[in-house]
Amino acid sequence: YFGRVLGGSRNVKGRGDIDQYSLKKRAYLGPTSMDAELSFVMTNLGQVKKGTIAFDPFVGTGSILISCALRGAFCFGTDIDTRVLKGRSEEENVYSNFRQFNLPRPELVRSDNAIYHRHYRSDTPLYQSIVCDPPYGIRAGARTTGSRRANPKPILDEHRHDHIPQTKPYNVSDVMSDLLDVAARTLVMGGRLVYI
């Protein structure tokens, strides 16, 4: 009985039926795009609401941040893969999904969660919610910054401004350890980490 009552509504507050956010109707998809209904459940568990700051350190095509934006959060996402952030073209990228649903653009940065502390301040809590789908190497291999070579070539100063670092495999145990470390350092008191 309670499951039917609580789960009976398929509306997103003020935004219509949940089916309109289905992956089948998205402007831009990747191989690991999160199902709309599951991302709504995750943002609900993360207590994402209007005026909060939501962070997805493995943003991909932005499916989870769409759910966060629909709940009124300020959205910030990072990903190590520049190609997925840039998308296929100006019309087919992460931002096109936000335009499609008339949502504010998220802040997106190419960044490696394994070295979050080198990119951002991690001594002051900032996020009310971290909601993500970390890479486990099943659908898309997990990657971190670094070279497989013992002695990689140094990057010349004149190439640093547009240099994209090499990546190497990222062990699942390290992915989870780094995610928990970032959450412990950056979530406000009472903030929530939700991952699948």
Q: What's the pLDDT tens digit per position in 85-143?
A: 888 888 889 899 899 999 999 999 988 888 888 888 878 899 999 999 988 755 455 65
**CB of 37 closer than 8 Å to CB of 23:** no
Residue environment code for 59-85, b if the CB has 16+ CB neighbours within 10 A, otherwise e: bbbbbbbbbbbbbbbbbbbbbbbeebb
**Global confidence as pTM:** 0.79
**Contact indicator for 112, 36 with CB cutoff of 8 Å:** no
Q: What is the pLDDT of residues 132-150, one digit of tens each?
A: 998 875 545 565 655 566 7
For residue range 47-79, list pLDDT tens digits in order.
999 999 999 999 988 999 999 999 999 999 998
Per DSSP, helices labelled H in the chain are 2-7, 36-45, 63-70, 82-86, 94-100, 116-119, 172-186
Q: For strands 53-56 and 74-79, give the pairing.
A: parallel
